[in-house]
C-alpha cells in the first residue's frame, strides 16, 4: 500500500514537472517543426504530440482524396494508428531535445525592460575595458560610446517611442573593427559582452556561403546567438554578434566560378545588419525537416565585424602616394613604407577597393582601427591585465606553494620573440608554454622548492632558472 502511494507521489511530481516545462517552453509542430509563435495555437494529441492547423489540414485533405496511408507522410509515422493506441505511446517518441526547445516569449507587462540606469556610461565601460585590454585607447573609446548609444536605442525601441509619434528614430550603430592579427579584436568583444552581461555569439565569416551551397547559411550566426542565450529569444534579441574574418568575404577580383562565399554573402548579411525578422534553426546550423524553427528580430542585436584585412595597407599606401607632389614641401613617397599603423588612415574608398560592397559598409557606420602591438605593449600585456598570462602561471604554482618571479630582462626577451613571429599577443602564450613546460613538470617533484626566478639566461638557453629552497 505504501509502495503504491510512493509511486503515485513520484508520478504526481513528474506530472507537475512536465506541466511546468510545457508552460515554460514553446510548443513545436511534430510535422513542420515550427513553433507556436509562428503557426498560432496548436492541436495537442495524446502522447504530448502537437500539430499545427496547417499540417492537420493537409492530413485531412490527404484522407479526403481517398485510400491514402497517412504513415507515408514524412515525419508522421504514427498517424495510421488508432486513437486508443496513441495514448499508450511514450511521450518521448514525439519530444524534441532540450537544446532545441525555445523558451516562451515574455508578455510586454512581464518582460524585463532595460532601464537607463542599467546602461553603463561610456567612461565606466572604458574603465572596465582598461582592466582587461592593454593599449588600443582610441578603439576602446569609440566602442564604449557606440555600445552606450546602441543600448539607449534599444531602450527607446522597447518603450515604443516610434517616429510616427514625433520621436527621433535612432539608427543602428554596428561596428567594423580593423586591425592586424593578435591586436585584440576578439578579446575586446568577449570582454565587452562579459561586462554588459549580454549573450555573445562569435561566427566565422569563412564558413558562410550563399543559401543552397555547402557551408553555413547566413541565419546560422543568429542561431548561435540564440543558443548562447539559452534559447531565450527575448534575451538573444539584446545580444551581440561578432563576425570574425570579415575580410575573407571580400568580392573576388577575378574568378571564373560563382562567388558563393564573397559578394553574395555580403548581400545576404545586409538584412541582418539593418534589422529584420529571420527564421532560424534551433540547436543546429542547418535547416532541415527535423530541426525546429523560430523567428528572431535582429533590430536590437549589435553586430560587430572584425578582420585583419592583410592587403589593405598596400591600397592605403597607393592612395597616399598619389597625393605626393614635387617641390620642397612635397611629401616623400617612401614616408608611409615603414608606418606600422597606416591602417589608421583607412577610408571607405580603400575598403571598396579591397572588395567590400558600399551597401555593406553603409550598414557598419562606425569604423575603428586597432594598432599593432609594439614591444612595450606586449610586456604590459604579459603583466597588467586581470587575467594576464604571467598571473595565471603564478596562480598555478601558488597551489604548489611555490613563488614564480619573472625578471624584467626575461619579459623583454619574450616580447622580442613575439615581435619576430608577427602574430601579436597570440605569440606570447606559445612562447611561455614552451619554456614553462619543464618547470611545471619538475617543480611538483620536490616539495622543498620555495621560489623560481625566470632569467634571460634560461630563456637564451645559456643557464637555468634561479631556484630557491624553503628556509
- pLDDT one-digit tens code per residue, 292-322: 778 889 999 999 999 989 888 889 888 887 7
Distance separating alpha carbons of residues 275 and 272, to the nearest angstrom: 5
Question: Looking at residues 147-173, what average pLDDT do you find?
Answer: 76
Q: Choose among 131, 129, 125, 165: nearest CA to 146.
A: 125
> Which tens digit of pLDDT belongs to each residue from 419-449?
998 888 889 988 999 888 988 898 888 889 8
The CA-atom distances, in angstroms, between 81 and each of 92, 163, 174 are 17, 55, 53
> Which tens digit of pLDDT belongs to each residue from 255-290?
666 777 788 889 989 989 988 888 888 876 666 656
| Rg of the chain over all Cα atoms, to the nearest angstrom | 29
Distance separating alpha carbons of residues 438 and 442, to the nearest angstrom: 6
Report the predicted TM-score, pTM, of the whole model to 2 decimal places.
0.76
On whether the CB atoms of residues 344 and 142 are closer than 8 A, the answer is no
Q: What is the pLDDT of residue 54?
A: 80
Distance separating alpha carbons of residues 121 and 149, to the nearest angstrom: 9
Number of neighbouring beta carbons within 10 Å of residue 327 = 5
Q: What is the pLDDT of residue 246?
A: 93
When comparing pLDDT for 25 and 18, which is higher? 25
Distance separating alpha carbons of residues 96 and 29, to the nearest angstrom: 10
Q: What is the pLDDT of residue 83?
A: 46
Q: Identify the band that residue 126 occupies on the pLDDT scale cut at 50, 70 and 90.
A: very high
On whether the CB atoms of residues 244 and 224 are closer than 8 A, the answer is no
> Which tens digit of pLDDT belongs to each residue from 178-194?
988 888 899 999 999 99
Q: What are phi and psi of 368, to 5 degrees?
A: -135, 135
Amino acid at each position: 500500500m505504501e509502495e503504491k502511494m510512493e509511486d503515485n507521489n513520484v508520478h504526481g511530481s513528474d506530472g507537475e514537472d512536465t506541466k511546468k516545462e510545457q508552460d515554460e517552453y514553446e510548443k513545436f509542430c511534430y510535422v513542420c517543426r515550427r513553433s507556436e509563435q509562428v503557426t498560432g495555437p496548436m492541436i495537442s494529441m495524446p502522447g504530448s504530440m502537437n500539430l499545427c492547423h496547417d499540417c492537420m489540414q493537409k492530413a485531412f485533405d490527404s484522407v479526403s482524396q481517398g485510400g491514402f496511408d497517412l504513415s507515408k507522410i514524412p515525419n508522421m509515422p504514427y498517424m495510421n494508428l488508432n486513437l486508443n493506441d496513441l495514448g499508450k505511446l511514450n511521450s518521448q517518441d514525439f519530444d524534441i531535445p532540450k537544446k532545441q526547445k525555445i523558451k516562451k516569449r515574455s508578455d510586454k507587462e512581464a518582460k524585463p525592460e532595460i532601464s537607463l540606469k542599467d546602461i553603463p556610461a561610456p567612461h565606466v565601460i572604458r574603465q572596465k575595458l582598461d582592466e582587461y585590454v592593454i593599449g588600443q585607447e582610441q578603439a576602446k573609446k569609440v566602442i564604449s560610446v557606440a555600445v552606450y548609444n546602441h543600448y539607449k536605442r534599444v531602450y527607446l525601441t522597447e518603450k515604443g517611442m516610434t517616429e510616427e509619434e514625433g520621436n527621433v528614430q535612432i539608427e543602428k550603430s554596428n561596428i567594423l573593427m580593423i586591425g592586424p592579427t593578435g591586436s585584440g579584436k576578439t578579446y575586446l568583444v568577449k570582454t565587452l559582452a562579459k561586462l554588459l552581461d549580454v549573450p555573445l555569439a562569435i561566427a566565422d565569416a569563412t564558413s558562410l556561403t550563399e543559401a543552397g551551397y555547402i557551408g553555413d547559411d547566413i541565419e546560422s550566426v543568429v542561431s548561435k546567438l540564440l543558443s548562447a542565450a539559452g534559447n531565450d529569444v527575448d534575451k538573444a534579441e539584446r545580444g551581440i554578434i561578432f563576425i570574425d574574418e570579415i575580410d575573407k568575404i571580400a568580392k573576388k577580383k577575378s574568378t571564373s566560378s560563382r562567388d558563393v562565399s564573397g559578394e553574395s554573402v555580403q548581400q545576404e548579411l545586409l538584412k541582418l545588419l539593418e534589422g529584420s525578422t529571420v527564421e532560424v534553426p534551433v540547436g543546429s546550423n542547418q535547416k532541415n525537416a527535423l530541426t525546429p524553427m523560430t523567428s528572431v528580430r535582429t533590430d536590437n542585436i549589435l553586430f560587430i565585424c572584425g578582420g585583419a584585412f592583410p592587403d589593405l595597407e598596400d591600397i592605403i599606401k597607393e592612395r597616399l602616394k598619389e597625393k605626393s607632389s614635387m617641390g620642397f614641401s612635397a611629401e616623400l613617397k617612401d614616408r608611409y613604407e615603414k608606418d606600422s599603423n597606416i591602417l589608421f588612415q583607412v577610408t571607405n574608398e580603400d575598403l571598396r577597393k579591397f572588395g567590400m560592397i558600399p551597401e555593406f559598409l553603409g550598414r557598419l557606420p562606425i569604423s575603428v582601427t586597432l594598432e599593432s602591438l609594439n614591444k612595450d605593449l606586449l610586456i604590459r600585456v604579459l603583466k597588467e591585465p586581470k587575467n594576464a598570462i604571467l598571473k595565471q602561471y603564478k596562480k598555478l604554482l601558488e597551489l604548489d606553494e611555490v613563488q614564480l618571479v619573472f625578471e624584467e630582462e626575461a619579459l623583454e626577451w619574450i616580447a622580442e620573440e613575439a615581435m619576430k613571429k608577427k602574430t601579436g599577443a597570440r605569440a606570447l602564450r606559445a612562447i611561455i608554454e614552451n619554456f614553462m613546460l619543464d618547470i611545471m613538470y619538475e617543480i611538483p617533484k620536490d616539495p622543498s622548492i620555495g621560489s623560481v626566478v625566470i632569467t634571460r639566461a634560461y630563456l637564451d638557453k645559456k643557464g637555468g632558472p634561479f631556484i630557491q629552497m624553503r628556509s
